[in-house]
């Protein structure tokens, strides 16, 4: 097992503070709230949508724009039930459910209870009790996590279908289509972002574990002999992705799975873990799936899924290296990592020190006062920036200090203030969210200035 780095727990932020900020500023709301909410489902508001879109765009950028050996796919959520038979999900996608037989009757995941005991230095194989009321627990039962529904107007045997519990299978069943049309040969990848559904026994911790979530998965098909090399490469690439987007290094670790943790399809897996306020937890898994999935689909469908290498005359089933991440969980990690409170000129400010590319709004355009043509000038700047594709927000309400703080809370990296001198000198004040530096810069060239800043290497100004 990997050594956990020595680090002070991120005590400055609790999950409750993140939830409160997310709600207060309209990032994420509990779903169906006017009806009392529906357990562990969430709706994303304006800033939440922008943030999560930025996370997904950065993922696409790293998979598609910055490389030419990966192609995109968007497969259906509903797939032939045989897909889940072949993939092993119908039989094997289960969690061990135990229920309290004492007072509280709560349900738990047995493996989670045993992990918690091991972390506290206890015997994970010993007797376990309900953590809530100390009651006796039922024997474990394998609970299948797939949501079932029915295709067509009549609910009857034989028309059951499942909401996909992962996006990966949609990729495997399209392997042949992509081979025929994308003109790629191993090593190459197929990437997909989309919703997945799991009837989790214990969802919770805000958007960390929900029953409906978005995954960002890429299946990388390689000649079998190269699997080990690509497995290591992808662990490094994916770790760097989080670091380059500002996650602090001491809050990130790669943890190889123990043999008894491995999924049914995997010969080796490493998790990239983040030190959430709930402790070290999985952000993303990188698995060597071997030829498990292609073999299964070949056998169950009767379609040949081999790759024929014309140069060597060899025919083989490629092996697969899979980096599988969660868009919601990544967004949560970025929020947690960015959250800071500090005192500025005697007043406390809450600030999200997000990587500028992840920030929902890039620049706030602010007239210092609502007079002397300042609002009109600010509106004109706002229009130019938006036309250049830069997400801005025009805000003229309240004192300038209050407006800066509002923008700090949603992580806007730059404030552009139009003042009395602007109409004479064509300059505005550019305020930096993190350093709080204020510089006067010409209006002319502002879009280029911000676009340049957005591609500069960036490191979190937070320490720890
Ligand atoms: P866990 O052990 O946390 O249940 P897992 O190992 O089953 O996760 P994978 O099947 O590897 O997860 O899924 C890949 C990624 O999808 C995870 O690393 C996570 O970011 C995301 N993910 C999985 N389940 C959920 C969920 N219920 N809610 C939000 N994100 C999820």
Instruction: State residue 7's pLDDT score.
Output: 44
CB within 8 Å of 401: residues ≥ 6 apart: 347
| Inside any domain, residue 116 | no
Q: How far is the CA of 461 from the centre of ligand 1 (A)?
A: 29
Q: How far is the CA of 111 from the centre of ligand 1 (A)?
A: 15
Q: How far is the CA of 326 from the centre of ligand 1 (A)?
A: 6
Q: How far is the CA of 262 from the centre of ligand 1 (A)?
A: 14
DSSP secondary structure of 33-75: GGGT--TT-EEE-HHHHHHHHHHHHHHHIIIIIS-SSEEE---
| Inside any domain, residue 85 | no
Whether residue 374 sits in one domain with residue 310: no
Instruction: State residue 3's pLDDT score.
Output: 53
Whether residue 314 sits in one domain with residue 185: yes
- Atom 27 of ligand 1 has which residue's CA nearest to it? 209
Whether residue 181 sits in one domain with residue 43: yes
Which is the closest atom of ligand 1 to the Cα of 324?
14
Q: How far is the CA of 259 from the centre of ligand 1 (A)?
A: 19
pTM of the model: 0.93
Last residue of a domain, one of 334, 353, 370: 334
Kindly list the protein residues whose Cβ atom lies closer than 6 A to any atom of ligand 1.
166, 198, 200, 209-210, 213, 215, 282-285, 324-326, 328-329
- Report the alpha-carbon angle 57-60-63, nearest 5: 150
Which is the closest atom of ligand 1 to the Cα of 282?
18
| Inside any domain, residue 97 | no
- Atom 19 of ligand 1 has which residue's CA nearest to it? 326
Query: Whole-angstrom Cα distance, residue 305 to residue 289?
Result: 16
| Inside any domain, residue 137 | no
Q: What is the CATH number of the domain that holds 399?
A: 3.40.50.800
Candidate of 114, 283, 324 to mutate for ligand 1, largest count of ligand atoms within 8 Å of Cβ:
324
| Inside any domain, residue 102 | no
Whether residue 278 sits in one domain with residue 371: no
Q: How far is the CA of 263 from the centre of ligand 1 (A)?
A: 12
Range of the domain at 186: 15-79+147-334
Whether residue 423 sits in one domain with residue 287: no
Q: How far is the CA of 6 from the centre of ligand 1 (A)?
A: 25
Q: How far is the CA of 353 from the centre of ligand 1 (A)?
A: 26
| Inside any domain, residue 399 | yes
If DSSP codes are grouped into helix, strand and coil, which group holds residue 299?
helix
Q: What is the CATH number of the domain that holds 227?
A: 3.30.930.10
Whether residue 309 sits in one domain with residue 181: yes
Residue 155 in tokens: 């609910």
Whether residue 152 sits in one domain with residue 48: yes
| Inside any domain, residue 96 | no
- Atom 6 of ligand 1 has which residue's CA nearest to it? 285
Whether residue 413 sits in one domain with residue 330: no
Instruction: State residue 12's pLDDT score.
Output: 67
Whether residue 210 sits in one domain with residue 287: yes
The size of the chain, in residues, is 464
Instruction: State residue 9's pLDDT score.
Output: 41
Q: In the chain, how many domains are there?
A: 2
Digitized pLDDT (tens) for each residue of the chain, 464 residues in all: 455 545 444 446 899 999 999 999 999 999 999 999 898 899 999 999 999 999 999 999 999 999 999 999 999 999 999 999 999 999 989 999 999 999 999 999 999 999 889 888 999 999 999 999 999 999 999 999 999 999 988 877 778 899 999 999 999 999 999 998 888 899 999 999 999 999 999 899 999 999 999 999 999 999 999 999 999 999 999 999 999 999 999 999 999 998 888 887 888 999 999 999 999 999 999 999 999 999 999 999 999 999 999 889 999 999 999 999 999 999 999 999 999 998 887 888 999 999 999 999 999 999 999 999 999 999 999 999 999 999 999 999 999 999 999 999 999 999 999 999 999 999 999 999 999 999 999 999 999 999 999 999 998 888 75
- Atom 12 of ligand 1 has which residue's CA nearest to it? 285
- Rama region for 246: left / alpha / beta (φ>0; ψ in -120 to 50; rest): left
DSSP state of 104: S
Last residue of a domain, one of 334, 350, 373: 334
- Atom 4 of ligand 1 has which residue's CA nearest to it? 209
Whether residue 376 sits in one domain with residue 293: no
Whether residue 378 sits in one domain with residue 322: no
Distances (CA, A) of 261 to 15, 230, 242, 284: 27, 21, 24, 15
- Are 111 and 96 in contact by the 8 Å Cβ rule? The answer is yes
| Inside any domain, residue 382 | yes
- Atom 18 of ligand 1 has which residue's CA nearest to it? 284
Last residue of a domain, one of 318, 334, 350: 334
Whether residue 325 sits in one domain with residue 240: yes
């Amino acid at each position: 097992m990997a050594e956990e780095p020595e680090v002070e727990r991120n005590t400055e932020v609790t999950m409750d503070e993140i939830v409160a900020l997310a709600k207060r500023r309209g990032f994420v709301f509990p779903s169906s709230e006017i009806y009392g909410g529906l357990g562990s489902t969430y709706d994303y508001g304006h800033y939440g949508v922008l943030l999560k879109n930025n996370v997904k765009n950065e993922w696409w950028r790293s998979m598609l724009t910055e490389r030419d050996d990966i192609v995109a796919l968007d497969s259906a959520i509903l797939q032939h039930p045989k897909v889940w038979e072949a993939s092993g999900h119908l039989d094997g996608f289960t969690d061990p459910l135990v229920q309290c037989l004492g007072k509280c009757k709560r349900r738990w995941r047995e493996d989670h209870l045993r992990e918690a005991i091991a972390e506290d230095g206890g015997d994970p194989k010993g007797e376990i009790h309900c953590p809530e009321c100390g009651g006796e627990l039922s024997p474990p039962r394998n609970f299948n996590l797939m949501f079932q529904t029915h295709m067509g107007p009549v609910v009857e045997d034989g028309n059951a279908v499942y909401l996909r519990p992962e996006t990966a299978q949609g990729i495997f069943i399209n392997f042949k289509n992509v081979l025929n049309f994308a003109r790629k040969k191993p090593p190459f990848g197929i990437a997909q972002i989309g919703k997945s559904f799991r009837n989790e026994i214990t969802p919770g911790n805000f958007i960390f574990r929900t029953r409906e979530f978005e995954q960002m998965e890429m299946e990388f098909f390689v000649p079998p002999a190269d699997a080990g090399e690509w497995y290591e490469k992808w662990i490094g690439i994916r770790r760097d992705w989080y670091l380059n987007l500002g996650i602090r290094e001491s809050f990130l670790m790669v943890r190889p799975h123990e043999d008894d943790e491995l999924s049914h399809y995997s010969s080796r897996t490493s998790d990239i873990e983040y030190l959430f306020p709930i402790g070290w937890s999985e952000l993303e898994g990188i698995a060597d799936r071997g030829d498990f999935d292609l073999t299964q689909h070949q056998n169950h469908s009767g379609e040949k899924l081999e790759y024929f290498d014309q140069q060597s005359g060899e025919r083989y089933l490629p092996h697969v290296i899979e980096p599988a991440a969660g868009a919601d969980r990544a967004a949560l990690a970025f929020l947690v990592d960015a959250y800071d409170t500090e005192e500025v000129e005697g007043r406390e400010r809450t600030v999200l020190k997000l990587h500028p590319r992840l920030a929902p709004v890039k620049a706030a355009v602010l007239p210092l006062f609502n007079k002397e043509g300042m609002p009109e000038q600010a509106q004109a700047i706002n229009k130019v920036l938006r036309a250049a594709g830069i997400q801005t927000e025009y805000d003229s309400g309240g004192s300038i200090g209050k407006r800066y703080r509002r923008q700090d809370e949603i992580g806007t990296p730059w404030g552009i203030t139009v003042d009395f001198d602007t109409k004479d000198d064509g300059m505005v004040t550019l305020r930096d969210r993190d350093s709080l530096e204020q510089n006067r810069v010409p209006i002319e060239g502002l879009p280029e200035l911000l676009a340049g800043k957005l591609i500069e290497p960036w490191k979190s100004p937070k320490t720890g």
